[in-house]
Structure 1
Amino acid sequence: MTAVREGASGTPVLALEGVSKRFGAVQALADVDLQVRAGEVVALVGDNGAGKSTLIKVIAGVGPADTGEIRWEGRPVAVTSPGAAQALGIATVYQDLALCDNLDVVGNLFLGRELRRFGVLDEVAMEKRSRDLLHTLSIRIPSVRIPVASLSGGQRQTVAISRSLLGRPKVVLLDEPTAALGVEQTAQVLDLVERLRSQGLGVILISHNMVDVKAVADRVAVLRLGRNNGVFDADRTSQEEIIAAITGASDNAVSRRRTRTDVPEEASDDRSQE
């Protein structure tokens, strides 16, 4: 059931073992394991309340785990703050993107990490690095000096992802990157996810969209009620099997529809004659 994409092998860059997190009487996570290797896209899926956001916050250092271990390139580490996660090489792009509409692309890419020369903002260096970064990722934007407010949803998402790469991370967490995007904009973002993989980064993709998951993920990790409920090879597992793991039931509307459409033609003829 579990498999690793060709080229994504060896010691995981990031591994979680037995991670648990409680909020008062609510057990948000219980003994969760997760691994991601260099050059691999792992989709993290689950129903609302399954623990996906809590797990991402644990990895990003926003809400450290109560128990369990996080290993980075094989060694135990303490991810107690966002700064600690970034120092390791973990970048997170949240669903709200946290972009400033009144700033241009360069201003957003370097927000909080501006380059200076003799105490003055080095606009030339930041613009050049912005162009080089977007070119490396094959991101098409009319100008790096265009206000972010004038960009499409897909372009805004690619700017947010590009900003996360300035710190040269090894693992990128993407929280619902295609939510509320159109078909063309979604394709742009998924193309970027594939380019991140081709550059050797590990990617954890949170998504409710099974089409997107099947399109780019190598493995699919399912959370249900705060616990692991299966890790699947994306190429060898049907959408129905993944949905069954998410819902905890093998009999659902999707599987029933699939069963009806899979009825042999002879059987359909027999039923029509009855």
Structure 2
Amino acid sequence: MELFFLGTGSGVPSKERNVSSLVLRLLEKSGRTWVFDCGEATQHQILSTNIRPRKIEKIFITHLHGDHIYGLPGLLSSRSFQGGEAPVTVYGPTGLKDYIEVSLKVSGTRLKYPLYIEEVEEGFLFEDEAYEVKAIKLQHGLESYGYLIKEKDKLGELLPSRLTELGIQPGPIYQKIKEQETTTLDNGQVINREDVIGPPKKGKQIAILGDTRYLPNLKEKLKNVDLLVHEATFAGEEEAMAHDYFHSTVKQAARLALQADVKELILTHISSRYHGEAVKQLEQEAKTIFKNTTIAFDFYQHTVK
């Protein structure tokens, strides 16, 4: 899995940071692409990347503040002119359906692909053959969510030494054996896949949170995730302001990462008051609490390890 940050600022765009949006690319042959939040000019940011809008299949909106949704009607519309024909599902809080439908209706937009809109509640959202997604309720003055994405465990590696012990020489048959639970060879020999593969590869878990106050009780829901993406609108000494505006500081986000024992923390939604050296100072603040912290910037790309 790979994250591509398109907008890492807060509130309004600045010269250094556009408003909120990031893309999760699922590194499979299908090139599946999921978008999380879609602030103004998200589609313009995409033009500077190799992300293909026609590959977008799901969009997750954390909350309905403008810096997280004003780019959505434009992206949905443009996708029709960029070869997008496959269905798209948009997930988000109550009111999202009205916002999208009114925007498309008033602008006379006709999409060339099926669009599904699902207004979410906390808990299980969906699963497919490879992933499971849950919504996590946050605290931001209006309905706001984070999304927990769990990659299902994958088959272990095929063990060539085990196959050669069974008298099976390398060739296309190896792939066939891995793809099937049991394989019958031309000589009648039956191979059970579980006997010739190693232990399963544990799937990755990532949490992408929307705007929120610091919520220590989230530590159980985020326990041991491989990567946490958390807002960090303010510096550490601004806890009172962060609380008043329903946001978090860099230190609070780092504290939650430490309490939840996550592997990596990426901070985003940085106030425009911080730039240049001030951003480096924010990162150092966070690292004093949780060492494996990175502050994202626009077009920052990160592979989940």
State the TM-score, normalized to the length of structure 1: 0.32
Query: Which has more helix, going by share of residues?
Result: 1
Max Rg structure: 2
State the TM-score, normalized to the length of structure 2: 0.29
